[in-house]
Structure 1
Amino acid sequence: MSRFKTRCVALLAGLCAALSLTGPATAAPAPTAGLVLRSDTAINARLHELVFTTQHLDAPTFVRVLLPQGYSPARRYPVLMLLEGCCNAAPQARDWTDPAKGNAEAIVGGAQVILVMPDSGKGGFYSDWYNNGHGGNPRWESYHIGQLLPWVDAHYSTVPGRRGHAIAGFSMGGFGAMSYAARHPDRFVSAASFSGALDSNDPKAITTDEMLAGLDNPVPGSLWGPRSTQEARWRAHNPWDLAANLRGMHLALYTGNGNPGPFNKTFDATEGNSVHPQSVSMHNRLNALGIAHEWHDYGGGSHTWSYWRRDLSQYLPGMMATFARPPALPDPFAFTAAEPRFDAYGYQVTVNRTGPAFATLSGVTRNGFTLNATTSATVATATRYRAGAPYQVTVTTPRGTRIQTLHATRGGRLTIPITLGAFTTHQPDIDAVLGQRPETATITIAEHI
């Protein structure tokens, strides 16, 4: 472990461009060269506590890393990012390995997986904060997804890519697990929620989320902005709204109903009146979309560590089985996001607007795709075409059909401009903001013979 000396970790610009966030799954404005490891303390032979500084947070932040028994750089290990719920004082990274709380080291036992347990703020909600239009810190998503996970992959012997990464968490961390997985489906092969807050469209959730975010910043609108004017921004992070992006993953949802159970003798209102309805809503949404998932509505149970420890122990076998035989990438795939720039599975989309509105890539194969959006866009494909070769690209929209010849770049990409309806951010109709009245472009791609 001597290589974990304090130093600035400069990550590869190309990788960071795919992962750092102004939008989901996605768009990166600049390489993340600001992650600095300040200390690495060995708690025991397997457990290390790391302290980082990053330009995305205003204070040093903790991460605990639990290595598997017999860890050796000679082999590769999958990674489980394990997320924290709300309200606990920093460093939250310690809670999952606290024997009185998560007890993760004992639960994981001999499973050959690396656990990564980061800080998340008392009410950080695993998001880059809007701060009433000013942006800035905290930028939890840019840090966790754009910096921390690539750093882990660079400094430990991990299984690369989607097939080697899973994510899970409880309460706010259940939200984080499902939101990150839905916004970055090309990064995770498995995701689980333990008593997660999975649907912010629930009126009770709106008040709760704003109140919990206030633990980190009491100024209203700091997290995603006022719901009344920034609903699209809220829904751009909401697992329920992004559920279709989860297709092709191993998914597990765990929830109690708040009634007395094996570890609680009285009704728990947080579990029964808040997260349980949201979990049920997410379960129903996945069912409606035909997305397979494990559903563990175990009846009596409270919003406490006793149940989350049990959830983790029950989730592990399915997760490890998924790592052993990872599902193939969805083909064709579909991906929905509301940010002006986003990417997924190597496709990069730039929509010609500044405000949020949903756009969807669907039916994506080598032979083409469909873009559903409220305004014109440019789509750069994944690197799946013959370098320098000419391709006939046909774009069909409500305005007609345009046929053009495009040449693949040296890297094998095609960059395709698509003209759709004009979008205005001046008092936009809410249906347009939420992507309810988009136009559809159908793109076919064929190589010239």
Structure 2
Amino acid sequence: MKIKFSFLVLFLCTLFYTLSAQKVDTIRILSPSMKKEIKNVIILPQDYEKNKKQSYPVVYLLHGHGGRYDSWIKETQPRLPELATEWGMIFVCPDGSNSWYWDSPVDSSSRYETYISQELTDYIDKNYRSIASPKGRAITGYSMGGHGALWLAFRHPDLYGAAGSMSGGVDIRPFPHSWHMKDYLGSYEKNPEIWEQHTVINQLPYKAPTGQLALIIDCGSSDFFYEVNQRLHEKLLYYRIPHDYIIRPGSHTFSYWKNAIDYQLLYFNKYFKSL
């Protein structure tokens, strides 16, 4: 009896692992602009294969500096497969290297804006049952990824209907010697105009009509990016651009982002459902 029970437990555990593993894939996608393959984690809702006629909204999740394509699921929020099923969303976690998600003006081999907002989105829409319009597409990230999400959303309002940032480096100018940014922009001292052009806060007012892009910004009150997020919030208010702005106790940590993503997915779900 004990042997049969143990076998049953082992079988159920194996079955659960198999079903869970089917929802998460790591795929390589060719970037013609960079002439190399980029790794991406794709997370599908559990009912994706059953509901052949259903299309799903897609949330692009960008990692921070020093991270990679699997940082979201390994370090930030291991429950992403469950959340994909709970919210009925596809999650796409691309590798952004340390690029800050720019097309670098000084390094032609680093073109992550083109990759994510053209090559990757095209691939996802052609190979998955995504809602292939801004109404079904959101982007967010933490730290460098928060900068990247707003950078891409502000510059490509035809692609993203909603965007978020968690502890984002939304103004890079106070940090001219940090996080390898000068490798992609040149030094601030020699290239101040390039730095002015490649920071999120200077993209305001963005090209989309006021209110078209749904925005949520979150930053801990003890974060070293708190002041730049506060300035972004004030500039959004100045231009009367609607947005949710969340300040909570916390700093620049994975535990903060693990909590923050819950607020952002709730916000994105309300956006998707409202259309």
Say which of 4, 7, 26 aligns to 1:49.
26
Alpha-carbon deviation of 1:107? 3.8
| Letter of the 1:168 counterpart | T
Correspondence list, 1:101-180, <5 A: 101-103=76-78, 104-121=80-97, 123-131=98-106, 135-180=107-152
| Letter of the 1:102 counterpart | Q
1:56-102 deviation digits (Å, cap 9, x = unpaired): 336532101111221133111111000000013xxx1111112x532
The residue number in structure 2 matching 1:250 is: 214
Please give the alpha-carbon distance, in whole angstroms, between the structure 1 residues aligned to 2:232 and 2:126.
Answer: 34
Which deviates the most, 232-241 or 151-160?
232-241
Instruction: Note if contact 2:168-2:225 (Cα within 8 Å) is conserved in structure 1.
Output: yes
The residue number in structure 1 matching 2:170 is: 198
The residue number in structure 1 matching 2:160 is: 188
Alpha-carbon deviation of 1:55? 3.4
Correspondence list, 1:205-220, <5 A: 205-208=175-178, 212-213=179-180
1:232-271 deviation digits (Å, cap 9, x = unpaired): 322333211112216321111111122xxxxxxxxxxxx2
Please give the alpha-carbon distance, in whole angstroms, between the structure 1 residues aligned to 2:28 and 2:273.
Answer: 31
1:177-224 deviation digits (Å, cap 9, x = unpaired): 0000011011111111000000123x2x2222xxx126xxxxxx4312
Normalising by structure 2, we get a TM-score of 0.85
When residues 127 and 43 of structure 1 are mapped into structure 2, their CA distance, relative to the original with a 3 A threshold, is farther
The residue number in structure 2 matching 1:234 is: 195
Please give the alpha-carbon distance, in whole angstroms, between the structure 1 residues aligned to 2:264 and 2:225.
Answer: 19
Alpha-carbon deviation of 1:43? 7.5
Please give the alpha-carbon distance, in whole angstroms, between the structure 2 residues aligned to 1:320 and 1:101.
Answer: 20
| Letter of the 1:116 counterpart | V
| Letter of the 2:28 counterpart | V
Alignment length (residue pairs): 251
Please give the alpha-carbon distance, in whole angstroms, between the structure 1 residues aligned to 2:162 and 2:193.
Answer: 26
Tell me which protein shows more helix as a share of its residues. Answer: 2
Gap runs ≥5 in structure 2: 1-18
Corresponding residue SS for 2:205: helix
Please give the alpha-carbon distance, in whole angstroms, between the structure 2 residues aligned to 1:294 and 1:277.
Answer: 17
Gap runs ≥5 in structure 1: 1-41, 215-220, 259-270, 327-449
Normalising by structure 1, we get a TM-score of 0.53
Give the greater-gyration-radius structure (CA).
Answer: 1
Tell me which protein shows more strand as a share of its residues. Answer: 1
| Letter of the 2:150 counterpart | M
The residue number in structure 2 matching 1:312 is: 261
Correspondence list, 1:43-442, <5 A: 44-57=21-34, 59-71=36-48, 72-88=51-67, 92-98=68-74, 100-103=75-78, 104-121=80-97, 123-131=98-106, 135-201=107-173, 203=174, 205-208=175-178, 212-213=179-180, 221-245=182-206, 247=210, 248-258=212-222, 271=223, 274-298=224-248, 300-326=249-275
CA RMSD of aligned residues (A): 1.9
Alpha-carbon deviation of 1:319? 0.6
Show structure 1 runs of 4+ deviating over 6 A. none
Corresponding residue SS for 1:240: helix
| Letter of the 1:153 counterpart | D
Please give the alpha-carbon distance, in whole angstroms, between the structure 1 residues aligned to 2:180 and 2:34.
Answer: 15
Instruction: Note if contact 1:167-1:177 (Cα within 8 Å) is conserved in structure 2.
Output: yes
Please give the alpha-carbon distance, in whole angstroms, between the structure 1 residues aligned to 2:23 and 2:60.
Answer: 16
Please give the alpha-carbon distance, in whole angstroms, between the structure 2 residues aligned to 1:148 and 1:313.
Answer: 24
Alpha-carbon deviation of 1:151? 0.8
Please give the alpha-carbon distance, in whole angstroms, between the structure 1 residues aligned to 2:122 and 2:30.
Answer: 15
Instruction: Note if contact 1:125-1:213 (Cα within 8 Å) is conserved in structure 2.
Output: no
Please give the alpha-carbon distance, in whole angstroms, between the structure 2 residues aligned to 1:303 and 1:323.
Answer: 29
| Letter of the 2:27 counterpart | L
Corresponding residue SS for 1:241: helix
Please give the alpha-carbon distance, in whole angstroms, between the structure 1 residues aligned to 2:180 and 2:37.
Answer: 19
For CA contacts below 8 A with separation 6 or more, give which structure has more relative contact order. Answer: 2
1:134-180 deviation digits (Å, cap 9, x = unpaired): x4101111111120011101111111211111000000000000000
When residues 199 and 324 of structure 1 are mapped into structure 2, their CA distance, relative to the original with a 3 A threshold, is same
Please give the alpha-carbon distance, in whole angstroms, between the structure 1 residues aligned to 2:274 and 2:135.
Answer: 9
The residue number in structure 2 matching 1:335 is: none
When residues 184 and 51 of structure 1 are mapped into structure 2, their CA distance, relative to the original with a 3 A threshold, is same
Corresponding residue SS for 2:198: coil
Corresponding residue SS for 2:21: coil
